[in-house]
Amino acid sequence: AVPQAQLQAISLNDLEGDFDIVINATSTSLSGDALQLPEKLQFKYAYEMAYGKPSSFIDQAKQRNVPYAEGFGMLVGQAIEAFYIWNGVRPQLKDFL
């Protein structure tokens, strides 16, 4: 838990400043559209909710030398929880990877 976290939603074009993380939750990665991040936007980590194929979001994180992760881990985490709910057994992450 992060007791003092603040969340705010604004237009991509209006983003500027220094952020801890930027999460791409748009459909651009699924449709193959390019997502252009503003130059004024600085961030320490990038998280792409999509997975499985390259995205312009991840390409831009790489160009900025920003550590990134894709959504495959989230998918596996959800699968583990669903399996637990239905079967009463919580598989280990290593069983899926």
pLDDT tens-digit readout, 16-71: 889 999 999 888 877 877 888 998 999 999 999 988 888 899 999 999 999 999 99
The DSSP result for 73-89, as a single string, is: HHHHHHHHHHHHHHHS-
The pLDDT of residue 66 is 97
The pLDDT of residue 1 is 62
Which tokens is 27 given? 């459909």
The pLDDT of residue 57 is 93
Contacts of 54 (CB under 8 A, 6+ apart): none
The pLDDT of residue 6 is 80
Confidence of residue 96 (pLDDT cuts 50, 70, 90): low
Neighbours of 17 (CB within 10 A): 8
Contacts of 72 (CB under 8 A, 6+ apart): 51, 52
Structural domain boundaries in the chain: 12-71
How far apart, in whole angstroms, are the C-alpha atoms of residue 6 and residue 23?
15
Q: Give the predicted TM-score (pTM) of the model.
A: 0.76
